C-alpha cells in the first residue's frame, strides 16, 4: 500500500472500488474460495501460486465462455476478473512497485516462512523468491547446528 498520505488519498478502495462493484467483488472472492478449496480442501483459503501460472491463457479460456456458468457453479466472467487481478498483482510485484512486504506476507501466510536473519558466513541470504513466493534461505545442515545457537 502507498505510504505517502497524499497519494493514499488517490486510492479510494472503498468509494472507488467496493462501492462501485460490490456484487462483482463478492463473486471474485467466491472464485478465490472455491479455487482454494478445490486444490487444498484441508487448508485455510490461500493463493497457491504453483497452481496458477498460466493466468493469461486461463483468462482467455474463461473469456470464451463469457456469460456462462462453469461446472463448479461460478461465472466464467468472475474467473476472468480473478485471473486479470492475479496477473496484475504479479506484474506489480515483478516491477517492484510495492516495497512493503506486508502484501507478500499476506499471500504466503499459510506457507512455512523463514525470518530474515543475517548470520556471518552467508548461512542465511535475505531476499524474496518470486517463483516460490518465499524468502530465499540457505539452510544450515542439521548436523552443523550447535544447540542453543539456532
CA-CA-CA-CA torsion for 70, 72, 78, 84, nearest 10 degrees?
-90
What is the chain's length? Answer: 150
Q: 14 and 66: one domain? A: yes
The arithmetic mean of pLDDT across residues 75-85, rounded, is: 97
How far is the C-alpha of 132 from the C-alpha of 150, rounded, in Å?
24
Report if pTM > 0.75: no
Axis-axis angle for helices 76-94, 55-64 (nearest 10): 160
pLDDT tens, 99-142? 556 666 666 776 655 554 443 344 444 555 555 555 555 555 54
Q: 25 and 88: one domain? A: yes
Q: 41 and 93: one domain? A: yes
Q: 100 and 36: one domain? A: yes
Amino acid at each position: 500500500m502507498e505510504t505517502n498520505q497524499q497519494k493514499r488519498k488517490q486510492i479510494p478502495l472503498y468509494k472507488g472500488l467496493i462501492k462501485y462493484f460490490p456484487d462483482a467483488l463478492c463473486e471474485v472472492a467466491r472464485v478465490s474460495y472455491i479455487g482454494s478449496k478445490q486444490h487444498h480442501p484441508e487448508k485455510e483459503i490461500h493463493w497457491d501460486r504453483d497452481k496458477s501460472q498460466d493466468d493469461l491463457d486461463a483468462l482467455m479460456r474463461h473469456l470464451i465462455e463469457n456469460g456462462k456458468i462453469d461446472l463448479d457453479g461460478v461465472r466464467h466472467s468472475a474467473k476472468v476478473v480473478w485471473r486479470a487481478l492475479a496477473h496484475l498483482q504479479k506484474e506489480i510485484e515483478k516491477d517492484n512497485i510495492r516495497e512493503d512486504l506486508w502484501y507478500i506476507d499476506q499471500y504466503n501466510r499459510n506457507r512455512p516462512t523463514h525470518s530474515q536473519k543475517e548470520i556471518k558466513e552467508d548461512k542465511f541470504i535475505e531476499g524474496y523468491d518470486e517463483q516460490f513466493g518465499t524468502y530465499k534461505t540457505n539452510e544450515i545442515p542439521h548436523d552443523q547446528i550447535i544447540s542453543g545457537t539456532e
